[in-house]
Amino acid sequence: MTDHDDSDDEAFAETTLVQAIENQLEAGEPAAVQATLNKLTLVGYEREEILHLMALVLAHEIDAMLRDDRPFDMDGYERMLRALPDLPGEDD
Domain-wise residue ranges, the chain:
7-83
DSSP states along 24-48: HHHHT-SHHHHHHHHHHHHTT--HH
pTM for the model stands at: 0.86
C-alpha 44/C-alpha 79 separation (Å) is 21
Q: Which long-range contacts (CB under 8 A, 24 or more apart) does 63-68 make?
A: none
Could you tell me which residues come within 8 angstroms of residue 89 by beta carbon, excluding any fewer than 6 positions away? 60
State the distance between the two ends of the chain, measured CA to CA, in whole angstroms.
45
Which pLDDT does position 4 carry in this prediction?
Answer: 57
**Ordered per-residue pLDDT tens for the chain, 92 residues:** 445 577 888 888 889 999 999 999 999 999 999 999 999 999 999 999 999 999 999 999 999 999 999 999 999 999 999 999 999 887 54
